[in-house]
A and B are shown apart, each in its own frame.
Chain A
Amino acid sequence: GAGVSQSPSNKVTEKGKDVELRCDPISGHTALYWYRQSLGQGLEFLIYFQGNSAPDKSGLPSDRFSAERTGGSVSTLTIQRTQQEDSAVYLCASSPGGGFVYEQFFGPGTRLTVL
């Protein structure tokens, strides 16, 4: 079946602009996660959605970052007033749910470059 999909695959933007990154989780998965991967680094947790519960935003690095999940499915990560240090690959993952399930299925990521 279809895996996690993300769009766009690449995004180049100018410093100060806003960007929106989209994630389509695996159908039926109730948990959705966003991570950031800087060049040559591991994955940094950003935000976690579980069903209709309030999201865990503890990993968001600043108030310029926000995320929504509509209808318990598609999620959008928004970065306002982008900075050069925001350049990274943004990965989305989903899992079947039931709390923080560890076997997460990742999308291919969106590579963001802020000039």
Chain B
Amino acid sequence: GQQLNQSPQSMFIQEGEDVSMNCTSSSIFNTWLWYKQEPGEGPVLLIALYKAGELTSNGRLTAQFGITRKDSFLNISASIPSDVGIYFCAGVDNAGNMLTFGGGTRLMVKP
């Protein structure tokens, strides 16, 4: 099946630093989504991207849908302790029938 490669697998940063993570695929996706999961909770949708080249912001978060439709990145500016969690990318294929998730990026923020 389709695979989403998400990197880095984990990050340990200082509060106030900017963060960048990305997802790549060998296949084209029509929609990219970014979720955050906190311990003991289900993932929560952060940003949805529907068009190649689209750049969308949600507060301190910015995500882009790559022009090739095979990649996406998520940036977090001026990180704070509550940004801690696992961030997942997810893509929807041409058939629109399945959401494929990346392996996640575990973010840890040191106050």
A49 at the interface (CB under 8 A from B): no
A42-B102 contact given A100-B97, A102-B33, CB 8 Å threshold: yes
Instruction: Spot the interface stretch: B38-46, B56-64, B75-83.
Output: B38-46
Distance of A56 Cα from B100 Cα, bound (Å): 15
A108-B96 contact given A41-B103, A42-B88, A102-B33, CB 8 Å threshold: no
Contact call B42/A93, Cβ cutoff below 8 A: yes
Q: Closest A-chain residue to B3, C-beta based?
A: A42
Interface residues on A, range: 20 to 34
Interface residues on B, range: 20 to 34
Contact call B31/A43, Cβ cutoff below 8 A: no
Q: Closest A-chain residue to B43, C-beta based?
A: A106
Q: Closest A-chain residue to B102, C-beta based?
A: A42
List B contacts of A33 (CB < 8 A): 99
A109-B42 contact given A43-B88, A56-B97, CB 8 Å threshold: yes
List A contacts of B103 (CB < 8 A): 41-42
Write the nearest CB–CB distance from B3 to chain A, whole angstroms: 10
Contact call A42/B104, Cβ cutoff below 8 A: yes
Output the residue of B42, B98, B100 with the most chain A CB within 10 A.
B42
List B contacts of A103 (CB < 8 A): 33, 45, 48
Distance of A109 Cα from B42 Cα, bound (Å): 6
Contact call B42/A45, Cβ cutoff below 8 A: no
B92 at the interface (CB under 8 A from A): yes
A113 at the interface (CB under 8 A from B): no
A7 at the interface (CB under 8 A from B): no
A13 at the interface (CB under 8 A from B): no
A102-B31 contact given A42-B88, A45-B99, A56-B97, CB 8 Å threshold: yes
Q: Which residue of A56, A59, A92, A102 is within 8 Å of B92 (Cβ)?
A: A102
List A contacts of B102 (CB < 8 A): 42
A104 at the interface (CB under 8 A from B): yes
Contact call B33/A108, Cβ cutoff below 8 A: no
Residues of B at under 8 Å CB distance from A?
4, 6, 31, 33, 40-45, 48, 88, 90, 92, 96-104
